[in-house]
Amino acid sequence: MGDWTGVLHLNAEDRKGKTVAKNVYFQGAFKVMRPIYHDDSGRACYYLLNPGGGYLDGDRYQMKISLAENAKMTLTTQGATKVYKTPTHFVYQESEISLQAGSYLEYFPDQLIAYQNAHYKQKNVFRMDPTATLLYTDIITPGWSPKGERFSYKTVQLLNEIYMDDELVVYDHLKLNPAVQNLPGLGFMEGFTHLGSMIVVDQKINNPFLDQLYSLIDENTFDYKVGLSSLQVPGFTIRIFANSTQNIEKIFLSIHRLISDEWFQAKQYSLRKY
């Protein structure tokens, strides 16, 4: 499995309250910028870069991130993930993320834009200690085509596996295939165009916290529709239907703010890149 288009390995550790890279390795069309410290929490914020500007036919990306005990990291991308048409081989991105005791990871990649006739498969495997914290989001847009048609990509497949103490605790599998599915219809996107997902795993999450989350959501708006449920382990997952990336990001932001306020009394900082 050596034929990767881009590889990124990043091991981070906590040094006296500040998270720093222990080693960083990247090769090919995958890069990471120097970390930014947005506040005095010691949490390192890394921006992932795709110097090619997008994923091409047959591209394969591998990312391995590891957080040692008590390390704290925000991981995001510098812009949307664009997958161009893939006439022969699908684009594949694989991530292995390991979170040791007391570590904290926010992984908030920008939205996915799959172009006409693109096939994209993404697999994230998280292995975490029960005392670690994970916040993950993704956003699938209706893609891009020259004529402005929606859902003109071939397939978008996203798989998230979360293991705790080597036992599978979350398995999240979506595969959108507009040629055979009626994506705008009942049971699929139901009139919306954008799909956001969020998974949060943390020992502190309980039912009163979920009630607080519900209070952030407007049940009567036509701008979005949200489903929220607790996981088999302390944590929750959210799916959001909306008609723009921004509407989904707004909800993610308010949830993130609530979590930051509740758990760290930390000030929210913006990840805006533009």
* Per CB under 8 A, 130 contacts another protein: no
Pick between residue 113 and residue 198 the one whose CB is nearest to another protein.
Answer: 198
In the complex, what is the shortest distance from the CB of residue 185 to another protein, in angstroms, rounded to a whole number? 8
Min CB(172)–another protein separation in Å:
6
- Which residue in 188, 234, 244, 247 binds another protein (CB under 8 A)? 188
Q: Report the alpha-carbon distance of residue 79 to residue 120 in Å, rounded.
A: 17
Given the complex with another protein, which of 29 and 139 has the nearer CB atom? 139
**Residue 169 interacts with another protein (CB under 8 A): yes or no:** yes
Q: How far is the CB of 116 from another protein (least distance, A)?
A: 21
3-state SS class at 88: coil
Q: What Cα–Cα distance (Å) separates residue 168 from each residue in 74, 104, 172, 209?
A: 24, 19, 11, 24
Tokens of 104: 């904290």
What is the nearest approach in angstroms of another protein to the Cβ of residue 20?
Answer: 34
Q: By CB under 8 A, is residue 27 in contact with another protein?
A: no
Residues facing 32 on adjacent strands: 48
Please pick, from the candidates 2, 146, 148, 187, the single residue that binds another protein as defined by CB under 8 A: 187
Q: Which is nearer to another protein, 207 or 270 (CB)?
A: 207
Which CB sits closer to another protein, 225 or 250?
225
Give the span between the Cα atoms of 132 and 151, in whole angstroms: 37
Using CB under 8 A as the binding rule, whether residue 167 contacts another protein is answered as: yes
By C-beta, is 131 or 230 nearer to another protein? 230
Q: Which of 88, 215, 220, 229 binds another protein (CB under 8 A)?
A: 229
Sequence-ordered list of residues with C-beta below 8 angstroms from that of 91, at least 6 positions apart, any chain: 55, 56, 57, 58, 59, 60, 61, 83, 118, 119, 120, 121
Shortest CA distance to 31 belongs to which of 16, 12, 11, 9? 9
Cβ neighbours for 2, distance < 8 A, ≥ 6 positions apart: none
| Binding string, residues 201-220; x marks residues near another protein by CB under 8 A | -------------x----x-
233 to 272: interface string for another protein, x by CB under 8 A: ----x-x-x-------------------------------
- Provide CB contacts within 8 A for 124, sequence distance 6+: 94, 95, 97, 136, 158, 159, 160, 161
CB 223 within 8 A of CB 248: no
Residue 100 or 155 with smaller CB distance to another protein = 155
Identified binder of another protein from the candidate list 195, 200, 251, 271, rule CB under 8 A: 195
Burial class for 181, CB neighbours closer than 10 Å (0-12, 13-18, 19+): middle
Binding site for another protein (CB under 8 A): 167-176, 181, 185-190, 195, 214, 219, 225-232, 237, 239, 241
